[in-house]
Amino acid sequence: MPERTIPYSAFNYLVNLNGPIGPEEPLGGFSDVSGLSTDITIAEYRNGNEKENHVRKVPGIHKVGDVTLKRGIVNSQDLWDWVKDTRLNGPSAKRDVVITLRDEAGQDVQSWILRGVVPMKYTGPTLAAKGGGDVAMEELTLSVEGLEFESA
Q: What are the sequence ranges of the domains in the chain?
A: 13-151
Give the angle 73-120-69 at the CA atoms, nearest 5°.
40
pLDDT recorded at residue 24 = 66
pLDDT recorded at residue 3 = 79
pLDDT in tens, 53-71: 889 999 999 999 999 999 9
pLDDT recorded at residue 22 = 63
pLDDT recorded at residue 132 = 74
pLDDT recorded at residue 78 = 84
Cβ atoms < 10 Å from Cβ of 120: 13
pLDDT recorded at residue 74 = 83
Query: Are the beta carbons of 16 and 30 closer than 8 angstroms?
Result: no
CATH number of 13-151: 2.30.110
Q: Is residue 1 pLDDT above 60, yes or no?
A: no
pLDDT recorded at residue 146 = 97
pLDDT in tens, 85-134: 999 999 999 999 999 999 999 999 999 999 999 999 999 998 888 877 88
What is the rounded CA–CA span in Å between residue 150 and residue 143? 20
Evaluated on CA atoms 104, 107, 109, 111, the torsion sign reads positive
pLDDT in tens, 2-45: 678 889 899 999 898 887 666 666 665 799 999 999 999 999 99
